[in-house]
């Protein structure tokens, strides 16, 4: 007897019935760029990321309201401060751009929206690196103290989740110990445990003004050819107290998401990064891609690989279409 798998593909209804992976609003997290230099409801388009913006603090609150109204469960905040220096002091200022934004969003929305704050130094340092620099070297242990101060300041502002993205060794343990010491044992840590030294971050660095002023980040972000090392990094971060794990980028690293999903009993996320976004948008603008189809396929494939949640710049648009 001839086996005919095509019988289960003959029309859309039967394809929907047997689809193994589905995308929902609950899978999505929307990034918000908050620029301390903008006022009122001012926003500024990011040239390398069409239809994406930097918002003022006030504007970011309105954006968060729209996101919550769409049924998206969470946002992740990235700050662009007025002041940058060698030690990222604006990042842990209790009246810093992200600290104010957290308080404002929580005052307006409470538990209607999860607020996640990226924990890193790159947007706040004059040199653009993710750690303290001395004689051209990025110092690991000295950076942990700063990261812990940043995370604590976010917790004090009411954040739900802190997300260290720096890739310093031991930062999850340092942050967890600091949070618990100060009574914030219920603040969740989402670790960028497998963050690769990728070529897909360019548009984000434009958006967040976070490009390094010298060298690159290959001495702390992961080598693009390594998979077993990613499993080691994830295992260490879970042991140190991470509750959620993030793989970044997502689309070129679907194998890493799948390996992590198969090995670890914690939620695994994928960050569909700015370069992935820009590729699809550019292709669509040139008539080379079906834009909506490419967006859904990209996100569905990240979920199919094993992602429990996806950070994506398309979150608002996809949520409105689902």
Binding residues for Mg(2+): 233
DSSP-based three-state secondary structure for 31: strand
Report the catalytic residues: 195, 248
Q: CA-to-CA distance for 148 and 119, rounded, in angstroms?
A: 9
Closest CA to 101 of 67, 147, 61, 148: 61
Among candidate residues 167, 80, 70, 58, the one with its CA nearest the CA of residue 125: 80
Three-state DSSP state, 309: strand
CB 108 within 8 A of CB 115: no
**d(Cα 79, Cα 58) in Å, to the nearest integer?**
13
Q: Find the helix or strand (DSSP H, E) in which 239 lies.
A: helix 228-240
Q: Report the chain's terminal Cα–Cα distance, integer Å.
A: 40
Report cis status (omega within 30 of 0) of the bond before 209. Answer: no
Nearest to 73 by CA among 22, 24, 21: 24
Binding site members: 120, 122, 130, 205, 217, 233, 274, 313
How far from the centroid of its chain's Cα atoms is residue 14's Cα?
A: 35
Binding residues for Zn(2+): 120, 122, 130
Question: What is the widest separation between alpha-carbon atoms in the chain?
Answer: 73
Cβ neighbourhood burial of 91 (10 Å; 0-12, 13-18, 19+):
buried
DSSP code, position 99? H
- Residue ranges of the annotated binding site for 5-aminolevulinate are 205, 217, 274, 313
- Partner residues linked to 177 by β-bridges: none
């Amino acid at each position: 007897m001839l086996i005919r798998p095509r019988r289960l593909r003959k029309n859309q209804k039967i394809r929907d019935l047997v689809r193994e992976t589905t995308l929902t609003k609950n899978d999505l997290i929307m990034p918000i760029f908050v620029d301390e230099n903008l006022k009122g409801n001012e926003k500024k388009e990011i040239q390398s990321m069409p239809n994406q913006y930097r918002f003022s603090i006030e504007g970011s609150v309105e954006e968060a309201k729209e996101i919550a109204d769409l049924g998206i469960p969470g946002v992740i905040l990235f700050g662009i401060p007025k002041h940058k220096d060698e030690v990222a002091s604006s990042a842990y200022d209790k009246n810093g751009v992200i600290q104010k934004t957290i308080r404002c969003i929580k005052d307006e929305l409470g538990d209607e929206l999860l607020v996640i704050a990226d924990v890193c130094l790159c947007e706040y340092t004059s040199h653009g690196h993710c750690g303290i620099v001395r004689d051209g070297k990025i110092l690991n242990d000295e950076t942990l103290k700063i990261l812990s101060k940043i995370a604590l300041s976010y917790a004090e502002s009411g954040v739900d989740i802190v997300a260290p993205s720096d890739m310093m060794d031991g930062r999850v343990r340092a942050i967890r110990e600091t949070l618990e010491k100060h009574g914030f044992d219920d603040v969740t840590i989402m670790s960028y445990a497998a963050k690769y030294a990728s070529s897909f971050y360019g548009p984000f660095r434009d958006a967040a003004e976070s490009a390094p002023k010298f060298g690159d980040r290959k001495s702390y972000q992961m080598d693009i050819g390594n998979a077993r090392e990613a499993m080691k990094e994830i295992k260490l971060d879970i042991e140190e107290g991470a509750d959620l794990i993030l793989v970044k980028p997502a689309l070129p690293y679907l194998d890493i998401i799948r390996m992590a999903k198969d090995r670890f009993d914690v939620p695994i996320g994928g960050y569909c990064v700015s370069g992935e976004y820009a590729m699809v948008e550019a292709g669509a603008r040139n008539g080379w891609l079906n834009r909506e189809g490419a967006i859904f396929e990209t996100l569905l494939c990240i979920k199919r690989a094993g992602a429990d949640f996806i950070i994506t710049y398309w979150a608002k648009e996809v949520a409105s279409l689902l």
